[in-house]
Structure 1
Amino acid sequence: MVTAGRRVLILSAGMGAGHDGVAAELARRLVADGAEAEIIDVLQLLPLRLGPMLRSGYQWVIRHAPWLYEATYQLFFVAKRAPSTSPLTLLAAAPLGRLAGRHRPDEVVSTFHLAAQVTGWLRRRGRIRARSTVLVTDFAVHRLWLHPGNDRYLCPNPAMTGHITAMTGRPALCTAPVVRPRFRPRVAECARTRARIGADPGDLLVLVSAGSWGVGAVTETARILASSGRYRPVVLCGHNARLRNRLGGGGTVLALGWRDDVPELMSAAHALVDNAAGLTCVEAFAAGLPVVSYRPIPGHGRDGALAMARAGFSVHAPDAAALLDALDRLRDERQRDLQIARASALFTSMPAVAALMSAPADLPPARTGRAGSCHR
């Protein structure tokens, strides 16, 4: 690997905690290997405070009008005839070009789809000289991740590499998901963890993830689990205090706010019920905790959940009966071990840092041209 002294600029976005979590861990690994790494929130490059407005608007829509996000996703993220370049790409391009000129990185890494569009646009026009790599954080890739101006793509799902190359003409490599080392299979002090959150020794705990924003149909999920009499839901409400207060009324549901002990909670749980197919899912894979997707948020959340299930990494439950059935099946050790093994295999792929630190000569240069679309 070519590591020591290399400068890497990582582009993320504060849309929830997932993209930033991947960026932070990637930076930590790069620095440990002797590189210099800096993280930039691409939303902060947008003028007129459009970045915070975009974040707030997306959060409101996901919470209160998910149908509107689904319509937007279908129109702009996956439609074949969608515009090739968004106004946001053009607005962020000039600030990022100036930033790259000042920092003079050897590599620019995008962990968010808007960043991938901007770097591809700039790279194709020769306004970024550094190699541009897109680290896809989703299990299902939509068109806004893809731009032929980027040099290469790294992704966690081996089923995506062929599609990415077909859409962009650029190399795509399957790499292990980027997860903090705290998330690993272990035998923890479950009794202490249970006592800390108020669970009884005999409870079969099921974590319910609502992301850092506490969104989705998690109230319904918790009710289904609690009313079964077989599982005690532990809802990770993130920063949503209203959701925590609504669920934490002293009943059978354990509602928790933002936590730093999620690895310990995972080690004490029977399964994770997830609705976003994001970083929490991947952390569960690393921790050896089976994942069941139920009522995923629209758009990329649903598509990611279905892609994970098709690959055998998780189970997608289309209704309440299927949710309970999936959790019941995981009580069979053979079924449980098989699902854990499939998900754990993701981490046998090449580490993302090893791919990033490969010699520049190992990669053909990006094609030149003016087109900015991933469409054929």
Structure 2
Amino acid sequence: MDPSSGNDGKTSTGRRFLIVSAGMGSGHAAVAAELMRRLEGAGHTAAQVDVLELLPPGVGRGVREFYRVAVCHVPAVYAGVYAVFLRPGKGPRPGNGPLAALAERRFLQLVERWRPHVIVPVFHLAAQLTGRLRARGSLTVPGAVVITDFAVHRQWLHPGNDLNLCLTSGIAGEVRRAVGRSAAVSGPLVARRFHAPAEAEGWAGVLGGTERGPVLISTGAWGAGNHVLETARVIAGAGFLPVVLCGSNRRLRSRASRTPGVVALGWVTDMPGLLAASRALVDNAAGQTALEALAAGVPVIGYRPIPGHGKDGVRRMAEEGLTAHATGPRSLVRALDEATVPGPVREWRAAEARRLFAADALPHLEDLAGAGPGPRAHEV
């Protein structure tokens, strides 16, 4: 939790940035790590903190476990939570402000000790935390929220935050109208190793050979998904090799590994190489794995999304022209046919993906950090 594990803040020309993430899956951690790399590469000092660790003992762990169980095992419950607390819409609704309030004291102590020039939430609870404090005047450090979702639910948004960085111009416009504060296009924060040519030969022995090549099925870090093995059978029936990315879900991996014609993988460290060896990614959450695939030039098809933000995000990615959205087995096969052979639709989506990554969060954060003299650096 302590940002003193980062650089010591003594740089003379750089600024200090405090990134507030959350240990929910792996996507937010990947975003925070890439943002730190870019900031430090530009000569700044960056550190990160997990907002769940700022909550009273046991509360953050309980929040994470409830979310994991709901998404993986009782998706109808998560769909209800999303509809009540998160889904965009007019009128008053309950929010996570009371939960954010539990982290305020420890967060303000951290800020006072480390004295950042800009605070950067990359998780919606963190955005509520900084927004509430800024609105009350309890936090003098500006906050720039990096919104990682294509479907921007209401808990990302708080008028107290100074800047919202969004994936696309359309999303930025919606956010600007919703909160009346500045919103800019930053594109996705995806590690540069996904943009560079990757070595795929190492996967040849694992994936074997099929007529049309491997197709990845993403289920996130926790192995969440609806009818994953049925999806694998549809893909196999179309002549591809279905490769199920099971994350930490041992039960799913065991079941998938016993399914004929299916390759089941646990946690994969060489995702660039695996993507380079694959023809397409079938995605169910519109999260970081989908963005990594687009960065690597691998076409993405949204199919059987998880409820809530997954369903809305998959639909929004397709509306942005970045992916296909298959609504049934036949639609999935058609989308795979279209995505894996040269043609105008494939080229159009590839061009949209390249345009998505043209923007960068770094200049916006540097502008915000340079707007004033900044607080005096204190030793941690």
TM over 0.5: yes
User: Which stretch has the larger CA shift, 268-277 or 242-251?
Assistant: 242-251
- Structure 2 residue 157 is matched with structure 1 residue 146: yes
Q: 1:295-374, aligned counterparts within 5 Å? A: 295-334=304-343, 335-349=345-359, 351-358=360-367, 360=369
Q: CA deviation at 1:225?
A: 1.1
User: Which stretch has the larger CA shift, 84-93 or 167-176?
Assistant: 84-93
1:51 is aligned, of 51, 60, 64, to 60
Aligned partners of 1:207 and 1:234 also within 8 Å = yes
Q: CA deviation at 1:136?
A: 0.3
User: Which stretch has the larger CA shift, 19-28 or 335-344?
Assistant: 335-344
Runs of 4+ in 1 over 4 A off after TM superposition: 359-363
Q: Which has the higher contact order (CA 8 A, sep 6+)?
A: 1
Per-residue CA deviation, residues 99-125 of structure 1 (Å, 9 max, x unaligned), is 111111100000000000000001111
Paired with 2:32 and 2:361, the residues of 1 have a C-alpha distance of 11
Paired with 1:109 and 1:360, the residues of 2 have a C-alpha distance of 11
Paired with 1:111 and 1:150, the residues of 2 have a C-alpha distance of 12
Residue 367 of structure 2 aligns to which amino acid in structure 1?
Answer: S
Q: 1:101-120, aligned counterparts within 5 Å? A: 101-120=112-131
Paired with 1:103 and 1:92, the residues of 2 have a C-alpha distance of 17
* Residue in 2 that maps onto 1:366: none
* Residue in 1 that maps onto 2:4: none
Q: 1:33-182, aligned counterparts within 5 Å? A: 33-78=42-87, 79=89, 80-83=91-94, 86-182=97-193
* Residue in 2 that maps onto 1:370: none
Paired with 1:24 and 1:178, the residues of 2 have a C-alpha distance of 9
1:28 is aligned, of 29, 37, 41, to 37
Q: CA deviation at 1:86?
A: 2.8
Residue 204 of structure 2 aligns to which amino acid in structure 1?
Answer: R
Paired with 1:158 and 1:235, the residues of 2 have a C-alpha distance of 33
Per-residue CA deviation, residues 107-160 of structure 1 (Å, 9 max, x unaligned), is 000000000000000111122211100000011101100000000100112211
- Structure 2 residue 299 is matched with structure 1 residue 290: yes
- Structure 2 residue 27 is matched with structure 1 residue 14: no
Aligned partners of 1:3 and 1:35 also within 8 Å = no
Paired with 2:196 and 2:242, the residues of 1 have a C-alpha distance of 21
Q: CA deviation at 1:318?
A: 1.1
Query: Any idea what SS the aligned residue of 1:153 has?
Result: strand
Aligned partners of 1:7 and 1:105 also within 8 Å = yes
Per-residue CA deviation, residues 70-91 of structure 1 (Å, 9 max, x unaligned), is 1110101125321355320111
User: Which stretch has the larger CA shift, 172-181 or 228-237?
Assistant: 228-237
Aligned partners of 1:205 and 1:233 also within 8 Å = yes
Residue 156 of structure 2 aligns to which amino acid in structure 1?
Answer: W
Aligned partners of 2:282 and 2:301 also within 8 Å = yes
Q: 1:166 to 1:198 in 2, by over 3 A?
A: closer
* Residue in 1 that maps onto 2:240: 231
CA RMSD of aligned residues (A): 1.8
* Residue in 2 that maps onto 1:219: 229
User: Which stretch has the larger CA shift, 329-338 or 202-211?
Assistant: 329-338
State the number of aligned residues.
358
Q: CA deviation at 1:190?
A: 3.6
* Residue in 2 that maps onto 1:369: none
Q: CA deviation at 1:201?
A: 6.2
Structure 2 portions without partners, runs of 5+: 1-10, 373-380
Paired with 1:138 and 1:152, the residues of 2 have a C-alpha distance of 16
Paired with 1:259 and 1:182, the residues of 2 have a C-alpha distance of 15
Q: 1:240 to 1:3 in 2, by over 3 A?
A: farther
Q: CA deviation at 1:189?
A: 4.5
* Residue in 2 that maps onto 1:242: 251
Paired with 1:269 and 1:106, the residues of 2 have a C-alpha distance of 42
Paired with 1:182 and 1:208, the residues of 2 have a C-alpha distance of 21
- Structure 2 residue 204 is matched with structure 1 residue 194: yes
Q: 1:219 to 1:328 in 2, by over 3 A?
A: same
Taking structure 1 as the reference length, the TM-score comes to 0.91
Query: Any idea what SS the aligned residue of 1:211 has?
Result: coil
Residue 353 of structure 1 aligns to which amino acid in structure 2?
Answer: L
Taking structure 2 as the reference length, the TM-score comes to 0.90
Paired with 2:51 and 2:199, the residues of 1 have a C-alpha distance of 40
User: Structure 1 vs Structure 2: percent identity of aligned residues?
Assistant: 45
Q: 1:190 to 1:201 in 2, by over 3 A?
A: farther
Residue 193 of structure 1 aligns to which amino acid in structure 2?
Answer: W
